[in-house]
Amino acid sequence: MAESWSFHFDGKHPERRYRSGRVQYHDGPFQGWMEGSELRPGFHLYRINGISTHRYELAPKGVMKRGSLVLGNMLGGAGCVTTGGAEDQSWRDDRNFFALTPETPVAYHIQPGKMWSTVGIVLEPETLAELTAGDDLPGLVRHAIDGKSRPFSMMRPLDGPATAQLADDLINLNYQGRMGELYRQAKAMEFLARLLDLLDTPADTRALSAREKMRIREARERLLADLRNPPDLHELAHSVGLSAKRLNQGFRMVFGTTVFDHLRDARLDRARQLIAEGSDMPLKQLAWEMGYGHPTNFISAYRRRFGISPARHRRDRFSDG
């Protein structure tokens, strides 16, 4: 994690520093706020929202751990990200996905007069390895974990609304106290899963036709109709008249995730809802109802998605009550 961040403005305005917590800026060229928090060791969430009367550069100071990975969304605004040894990445107004390796100096150059919001996650390699253990990983993630990172920077528009909505949810956190912490952790874990999926998604996917969108939504209804015994990918694709590859592409474009990940998230969300509503169903049975043959797989998936085990979630619910 960076020791601090600096705001450098065009003109004679003095430099500003951000160090930790949530800082509100009321005077000076930049009006808005910035917040950084460590959700777990090696997992840092940054959120920024504001507008400036002058062009400025926002840059981390200090050394980030080698092998770290930065993933996030730009929500509006305009500017350019520079990463030493990699291509500059520009954006304007659209919502964009970005990824970079902070092996070399990084800076965000922000244009004035436009509201800029961004949500970013910084992951250290050990935490990245722990969170993605057993997964089929994009090359960039594997290289970070293996200590083989090179300067890298990319940015592209988001294809669908799902990831941007998660970023919006993280910008506009409405819960406070212990529930607020749990909500922030759960949303950040879900956001990370979406970003890793986007990192593994080709940028040149052909646009969906209206008929294909209709078939993909029909496929989603069929997929979620029976969480315990859903159709497999090929059965589902055949039932709506699409190839398995095109169905997966369509799910990524419409829902921001693959068919498998969409089903997994729906199962875990339903389990979380049942626990929150006070269900006393044993975890072994709950896992079975959600389509998991082994409770340990269910517990691991639940913890990865929400940052807390189902048993701990149940205990916390009782203690809060």
Domain with residue 289: its CATH number is 1.10.10.60
> Is 296 among the domain residues?
yes
Same domain for 231 and 125, yes or no, is no
State the average pLDDT over residues 268-280: 91
Query: Is 83 contained in some domain?
Result: yes
pLDDT of 215: 94
Assess whether 33 and 182 both reside in one domain.
Answer: yes
Identify the pLDDT of residue 243. 86
For 39, 193, 259, the CA distances from 179, given in Å and listed in that order, are 14, 21, 30
Cα end-to-end span (Å), the chain:
36
Look at residue 232 and tell me if it is in a domain: yes
In the chain, the number of structural domains is 2
Residue 321: which pLDDT band, with cuts at 50, 70 and 90? Answer: low
Q: Establish if 290 belongs to a structural domain.
A: yes
The predicted pLDDT at position 39 comes to 94
Among 147, 168, 199, residue at a domain's last position: 199
pLDDT (0 to 100) of residue 73? 96
Q: How confident is the model at residue 223 (pLDDT cuts 50, 70, 90)?
A: very high
Q: Are residues 264 and 291 in the same domain?
A: yes
Report the pLDDT value the prediction gives residue 289, as an integer from 0 to 100.
93
The verdict on residue 25 lying in a domain is yes
39-53, 122-136, 219-233: which has the minimum mean pLDDT?
122-136
Contact between 44 and 37 (Cβ < 8 Å)? yes
Same domain, 38 and 70: yes
- Among residues of the chain, what percentage have pLDDT more than 70? 95
CATH of the domain at 41: 2.60.120.10
Query: Which structural domain range is residue 244 located in?
Result: 210-320
Q: Looking at the domain assignment, is residue 205 inside a domain?
A: no
Q: Specify whether 120 is located in the same domain as 16.
A: yes
Q: Is the pLDDT reported for residue 207 higher than 80?
A: no
273 contacts 155 by C-beta, under 8 angstroms: no
**Pair 243, 291 in one domain:** yes
What are 9-28's pLDDT values in tens digits? 998 899 999 988 999 999 89
Q: Which pLDDT band, with edges at 50, 70 and 90, does 203 fall under?
A: low
**Residues 10, 154 within the same domain:** yes
Give 157: exposed, middle or buried? Use CB within 10 Å, 0-12, 13-18, 19+: exposed
Banded model confidence at residue 284, pLDDT cuts 50, 70, 90: very high
Residue 320 has pLDDT above 70, yes or no: no
User: 204 in a domain, yes or no?
Assistant: no
Q: What is the pLDDT of residue 2?
A: 65
What mean pLDDT value characterizes the chain?
A: 89
Over residues 45-96, the pLDDT tens digits come to: 999 999 999 999 999 987 678 889 999 999 989 999 999 888 899 998 778 8
Q: Residue 110: pLDDT above 80?
A: yes
Angle between helix axes 177-199 and 310-320 (nearest 10 degrees) is: 150
Check whether residue 33 and residue 170 sit in a common domain.
yes
